[in-house]
Amino acid sequence: MKTIITFIIAISVTITGFSESKDELIEKLIILNGVELQFNEGAEKILNQLMQSYEGKGKSYDSIKEIVRKHCNWKSWKPYYTSLLDETYTKKELESLIQYRTSIPPEIMKLSEKQVDIQVRYTFAQRKWVEEIQPLISDDIQKLPPTPAEELESYADKWNSWSEGEKRFYISGYKTGCEGAIAEFSRELKPKKEVLNKITKRVELNSHFQKLSGAVTDFYADPKNAEIPYIPAFYLVDAKLQGNDISEKLERARKRSSKTDPNRLSKDVRQP
15/244 Cα distance (integer angstroms): 89
Nearest to 199, CA basis, from 112, 271, 138: 271
Asked if residue 159 has pLDDT above 90, the reply is yes
Return the pLDDT at 49. Answer: 63
Which has the higher per-residue pLDDT, 107 or 151? Answer: 107
236/229 Cα distance (integer angstroms): 11
Return the pLDDT at 240. Answer: 93
Strand, helix or coil for residue 144: coil
Percent of the chain with pLDDT over 90: 20
Asked if residue 16 has pLDDT above 70, the reply is no
Rounded to 5°, angle at Cα 148 from 146 and 151: 125
* Beta carbons of 206 and 238 less than 8 angstroms apart: yes
Nearest to 155, CA basis, from 93, 75, 65, 224: 224
Return the pLDDT at 84. Answer: 87
Rounded to 5°, angle at Cα 38 from 131 and 11: 150
Return the number of other C-beta atoms located less than 10 Å from residue 217's C-beta: 16
Mean confidence (pLDDT) of the chain:
77
Return the pLDDT at 129. Answer: 80
Rounded to 5°, angle at Cα 10 from 8 and 14: 115
**What's phi and psi for 152, nearest 5 deg?**
-70, 135
Strand, helix or coil for residue 156: helix
45/194 Cα distance (integer angstroms): 53
Return the pLDDT at 246. Answer: 92
Return the pLDDT at 233. Answer: 93
Domain ranges of the chain: 2-122, 152-266
243/232 Cα distance (integer angstroms): 17
272/266 Cα distance (integer angstroms): 15
- pLDDT band with cut points at 50, 70 and 90 for residue 248: very high
Return the pLDDT at 197. Answer: 83
Q: Quick: pLDDT tens for 200-210.
A: 888 888 888 78
Q: Quick: pLDDT tens for 249-264.
A: 999 888 887 654 444 4
Nearest to 175, CA basis, from 134, 141, 140, 206: 206
Return the pLDDT at 268. Answer: 39
The reported pTM is 0.42
Asked if residue 136 has pLDDT above 90, the reply is no
Q: Quick: pLDDT tens for 24-68.
A: 999 998 898 888 877 776 766 666 666 666 555 556 666 777 777
Asked if residue 106 has pLDDT above 50, the reply is yes
Q: Quick: pLDDT tens for 186-200.
A: 877 788 888 888 888
Return the pLDDT at 123. Answer: 67
- pLDDT band with cut points at 50, 70 and 90 for residue 267: very low
